[in-house]
Amino acid sequence: MLSLHKDSFYSLFKQHEFYLSLLIALLILGLSVATEDFMTLGNIFDMTVSSAILGIMACGLFVVLIAGGIDISFPAIAAIGQYLMATFVLANGGNFAIAFAIAALTGIALGMVNAVLVYKLKAPAIIITIAMLNVYFGLLIYFSNGEWLYGFPDWFMDGVEVLRFTASDGYDYGLNLPMMTLLAVIALTSILMNKTRIGRQIYAMGGNSDAASRIGINGFGLNLFVYGYMGAMAGIAAVVQTQITQSVAPNSLMGFELTVLAAVVLGGTSMSGGKGTLLGVILGVVLLAVLKNGLTLLGVPSYWHTVVTGLIILISISMTALNEKQQAKQVA
């Protein structure tokens, strides 16, 4: 029974990612024909940088969702990490290693607070993290007075760039800070979820937490880990966002939680845990990024962007649900 179940998951999710890739390929093909700018190096760079924060946070939320949890509070966690990091950098200088460390450690600490509450109170994670979103964000604005921070040192403003080269269009390109961070985070998450014991345990816990605890998996420890990981990702994304926008506004990430959730579930990650792949999540992020970029290049008014995004989400999740239903019928 278990193996049958597992096989149907795999064929199903291969399907989901297959259709998602097909959709993205069609979009890219259409956009390359319809617009001159889409397939340029410059545009692809811009697209990657502007979706880096979404991608980094999506990696974190993916891990939490696989574990069978959910986190709504991460934009507030990111904002707190960002604020502490910026305050430190403005007062003492430093370098990117210190900046990332401060924001990520703040995120880990606050994420672990979530984990303790979710695990010990046995209440739905969505409720606990909505409550904590209010607590974190309310306290941040109260103590920071909602003040903006800017005027960072030069090393922060300039960022980091490696592998710089001049393309045929005459512009300089290279891997910049947002891109390198995004790639590093994806690599880290991929190794974590596919190659390590802890990753397997996260899948197991999300699939069936009772069975997981019976075979000796430490549920509390894993909870600390996944919410801490989400917090770390939130903190890392916060540093990247500060570097891109060159300023800190305490409320700039608010409301972002549902966008990230949309990207992750678009990629086929199940809300009930245990099912989903990182590849799917990346495809979900890519789909949203290509869609937004394509509509802009086509000169579609920005009013339409949300409508189209909403429609794509509705269609995609409906197809997944119908697929699952059929699969369930076949198994029965």
Partner 1 sequence: MNTLKLPTDRNIRYLLMILAAIMALMAFSLGGTFFSLTNLQSMSSQLPLLGIFALAMAVCMLTGGINLSIIATTNACSLVMASIITLAPDSSLMLMAALAAGLVTAVIVGLANGFLIAYIGVSPILATLGMMTFINGLNVLVSGGSVISGFPDALLLLGNGDILGVPMPLIFFALFAIGLWVILEHTPLGRAIYLIGSNEKASRFSGINTQKSLVYVYIISSILCWLAAIIMMAKFNSAKAGYGESYLLVAILASVLGGINPDGGFGRIIGIFLALLVLQALESGLNLLGVSSYLTMALWGGILIVFIALQKYKS
Q: Interface with partner 1 by CB under 8 A: which residues?
A: 72, 117, 120-124, 126-128, 130-139, 141-142, 146, 255, 258, 261-262, 265, 271-272, 303-311, 313-314, 317-318, 320-322, 324-325
- Least separation, in Å, of the C-beta of 275 and partner 1? 12
Nearer to partner 1, 22 or 311 (CB): 311
Nearer to partner 1, 161 or 324 (CB): 324
Degrees (nearest 5) of the Cα angle 16, 269, 219? Answer: 145
Helix axis angle for 74-92 and 52-66, nearest 10°, is 130
What's the CA dihedral at 49, 51, 52, 54 to 10 degrees? 160
Q: Count of residues for the chain? A: 332
- Least separation, in Å, of the C-beta of 331 and partner 1? 15
Nearer to partner 1, 199 or 268 (CB): 268
Tokens of 102: 């401060």
Per the CB < 8 A criterion, the answer to whether 320 and 14 are in contact is: no
DSSP for 169-224 reads: TS-EEEEEHHHHHHHHHHHHHHHHHHHSHHHHHHHHHHH-HHHHHHTT--HHHHHH
Cα 111 from Cα 56, distance rounded (Å)? 16
Q: Round to the nearest angstrom and report the end-to-end CA distance of the chain.
A: 11
Nearer to partner 1, 42 or 124 (CB): 124
Cα 253 from Cα 76, distance rounded (Å)? 7
Nearer to partner 1, 122 or 197 (CB): 122
- Least separation, in Å, of the C-beta of 300 and partner 1? 11
- Least separation, in Å, of the C-beta of 244 and partner 1? 24
CA distances from 66 to 69, 70, 126, 248, 265 (A): 7, 9, 14, 31, 11
- Least separation, in Å, of the C-beta of 70 and partner 1? 8
- Least separation, in Å, of the C-beta of 126 and partner 1? 7
Nearer to partner 1, 117 or 236 (CB): 117
Nearer to partner 1, 216 or 255 (CB): 255
Pairing type for strands 247-248 and 149-150 reads antiparallel
Nearer to partner 1, 12 or 141 (CB): 141
> Is residue 313 within a helix (H) or strand (E), and if so which, with residue range?
helix 302-331
- Least separation, in Å, of the C-beta of 48 and partner 1? 23
- Least separation, in Å, of the C-beta of 288 and partner 1? 11
What's the CA dihedral at 83, 84, 89, 95 to 10 degrees? -110
- Least separation, in Å, of the C-beta of 69 and partner 1? 13
Q: Quote the radius of gyration of the chain (alpha carbons, Å).
A: 20
Nearer to partner 1, 72 or 286 (CB): 72
Per the CB < 8 A criterion, the answer to whether 237 and 53 are in contact is: yes
